[in-house]
Amino acid sequence: MHEERGLPPGQRQVEGFPRFGAHLARPAPAVPAHPVIELGGALSEPVEFPLSQLPGLPRTEIAADFHCVAGWSATGLRWEGVSFATFYRAVVEPALPPGTAITHVVCRGLDGWRSVQTVEDAMADDVLLAEHLDGRPLDGDHGAPVRLVSPRQYGHFSVKHLCGIDVLTAAPACTEGPLLRPHPRGRVWEEERHGLVPGRLVRPVYRALIAPIRALSARGAGRTAAPAPPR
Ligand SMILES: Nc1nc2c(c(=O)[nH]1)N[C@H]1C(S)=C(S)[C@@H](COP(=O)(O)O)O[C@H]1N2
Ligand SMILES: [Mo]
């Protein structure tokens, strides 16, 4: 058993909560006038869930630290939204053919970011579809209009600008090469940093990426891309 106090192994605390991600210096994607979460995968048919309906579901608030696989941690964040499990039971489950056994969940962001996690990890009671951070609506830097937050997994599972969720009956094929292969669970207290290499061994390599990715990500902070032309 791990004692979940202090920081997980190999993590270092940073001041505040930096913008960080594969978006690098690109500004946040424009939020559509009527944002939806597209639900797909093993559903009987795809469902478009309007975000305007999210406030109708029971709300959850959590306090949690946020841990990026590169090695930085932001502490004491307060997230508010709907727990993934609540959303799943209210919206996803009723749209599944009877008897479907879901094993994996794929989340997608408006910028094309994508994460795959086991349904077990997604259903943990501290996984949220978060709309508020520290009492304010999410801004573009941290994932407006809604993001996944999974505090016990590395940050790349916490998809910003969430626009799609696919539920699957088997693990999808891995699209990353061996070098960047994510760990299928990515649990921070187990230091599951990498799919093939033990976490402590990749620490120095990942840590070297923090400064450049932070600097680039900061360049696009506070900005939003021009909206896509109407279709
Ligand atoms: N849509 C989207 N979500 C994303 C990313 C991204 O590039 N795009 N980067 C991930 C990574 S690697 C981290 S550490 C966190 C950083 O979240 P923050 O920018 O709110 O600090 O977002 C994750 N979610
Ligand atoms: Mo990250």
In a domain, 118, yes or no: yes
Place of tokens 């999410």: 138
pLDDT at 1: 44
pLDDT at 22: 97
Pocket test for ligand 1, best of 12, 66, 113, 193 (most atoms within 8 A of CB): 113
CATH number at residue 69: 3.90.420.10
CA of 198 to the centre of ligand 1 (A): 22
pLDDT at 3: 58
Q: Give the ligand at the shortest distance from the Cα of 19.
A: 1
pLDDT at 227: 82
In a domain, 209, yes or no: no
CA of 35 to the centre of ligand 1 (A): 19
In a domain, 101, yes or no: yes
pTM of the model: 0.96
Expressed as residue numbers, the domain containing 71 is 3-19+34-170
Query: How many domains are contained in the chain?
Result: 1
Residues in the chain predicted with pLDDT less than 70, given as ranges, are: 1-4, 229-231
Pocket of ligand 1 (CB under 6 A): 17-23, 68, 109, 111, 113, 142-143, 155-156, 158-161
In a domain, 84, yes or no: yes
In a domain, 206, yes or no: no
Given a contact cutoff of 8 angstroms between Cβ atoms, the answer to whether 182 and 195 are in contact is: yes
In a domain, 54, yes or no: yes
**At 59, which amino acid appears?**
R
Place of tokens 């996984």: 127
Give the up-direction half-sphere exposure of residue 38: CA atoms within 13 A in the CB hemisphere.
9
In a domain, 221, yes or no: no
